[in-house]
A = this chain, B = another copy of it.
């Protein structure tokens, strides 16, 4: 339980509702800003005006998926009011307060470093990234079904990268009966992909593997689906890029050649906000609990 733990939650979207629900269930004292436009109740959380005094006795400060932008603005979908996090807010936080976000921009990182506060980026964690890869893969399948005139079943599909997202994507495609090639860099990934019934190849031989491909799912966040690769694709091919912005595809050249290429970052919050919220809520509540126990033990 999180009885007595003070949590301040600022902004966000439907995913944060799951976080609020979970923390209230665990008896934390939850104060929220940026939810004044929400029509439903908030399971016992307290609405508050955004003000420095809120930050005084906070044990955990929760920011949304993308913590703040480069000016400190916090994204809010349930309010029209502006939430801007600045030094004066952070200065009031107790030294033991941990700041949690999905991923941090330099602005937020600098704020935390300046005050020597612990910053946790949840989307960096392997467990969160693996859980998030599930809605990502389902969203990618949805986009593939919408943008092709063939079935996934029996298609010549290719997944670039065999990390946390690539692994899930390849399995989802296999689950629907696609033929799945997996582009890897490491020999242990080659071995695992082979063991799982995929057709692995090394990324260095990508060009030679693109001649007869219906679908490419890229998970590698550097330029990999280059103009040269796109020039070699059959005209029916569709590229779905799941890497963080700006993706790993030469979108300009794809458009010029008439190849459909779609950048689709942030799918979990779009296709399955409830599941994505639960993923964050589960991880977050465990981390806050661990932190509370540590502090209680004087560690």
In the complex, what's the smallest C-beta–C-beta distance from A267 to chain B, in angstroms? 10
So how many copies of this chain end up in the complex?
Answer: 2
The number of chain A residues touching the other chain, given as a range, is 20 to 34
Majority secondary structure of chain A interface residues (helix, strand, loop or mixed): helix
Cβ-defined contact, A142 with B146, below 8 A: yes
Cβ-defined contact, B138 with A14, below 8 A: no
Q: Tell yes or no: A292 within 8 A of B by CB.
A: no
Tell me the A165-215 residues at the B interface (CB within 8 Å): 172, 174-177
In the complex, what's the smallest C-beta–C-beta distance from A19 to chain B, in angstroms? 15
Residues of B with C-beta under 8 A to A235: none
Contact of A142 among B14, B145, B150 (CB under 8 A): B145
Cβ-defined contact, A145 with B150, below 8 A: no
Cβ-defined contact, A151 with B176, below 8 A: no
Cβ-defined contact, B150 with A134, below 8 A: no
Residues of B with C-beta under 8 A to A271: 145-146, 151
* Cα distance A271–B150 in the bound complex, in angstroms: 8
* Cα distance A10–B35 in the bound complex, in angstroms: 59
Query: Per-residue CB proximity of A85-106 to B under 8 Å, as 1/0?
Result: 0000000000000000000000
Query: Per-residue CB proximity of A246-276 to B under 8 Å, as 1/0?
Result: 0000000000000000000000000111110
* Cα distance A146–B135 in the bound complex, in angstroms: 12
Residues of B with C-beta under 8 A to A14: 149
| CB nearest to A279 among chain B residues | B151
* Cα distance A150–B139 in the bound complex, in angstroms: 11
Q: Tell yes or no: A47 within 8 A of B by CB.
A: no
Cβ-defined contact, B142 with A275, below 8 A: no
Q: Tell yes or no: A141 within 8 A of B by CB.
A: yes
* Cα distance A172–B138 in the bound complex, in angstroms: 12
Residues of B with C-beta under 8 A to A145: 138-139, 141-142, 271-272
In the complex, what's the smallest C-beta–C-beta distance from A164 to chain B, in angstroms? 15
Q: Tell yes or no: A148 within 8 A of B by CB.
A: yes
* Cα distance A272–B144 in the bound complex, in angstroms: 11
Cβ-defined contact, B175 with A174, below 8 A: yes
Residues of B with C-beta under 8 A to A138: 145, 151-153, 176
A–B Cβ pairs within 8 angstroms, 29 of them: A134-B153, A134-B154, A134-B177, A135-B151, A138-B145, A138-B151, A138-B176, A139-B145, A141-B141, A141-B142, A142-B142, A142-B145, A142-B146, A145-B271, A145-B272, A146-B271, A149-B272, A149-B273, A149-B275, A150-B274, A150-B275, A151-B271, A151-B272, A151-B275, A172-B175, A172-B176, A174-B175, A175-B175, A175-B177
Give me the interface of A with B, judged by CB distance under 8 Å. Answer: 14, 134-135, 138-139, 141-142, 145-146, 148-154, 172, 174-177, 271-275
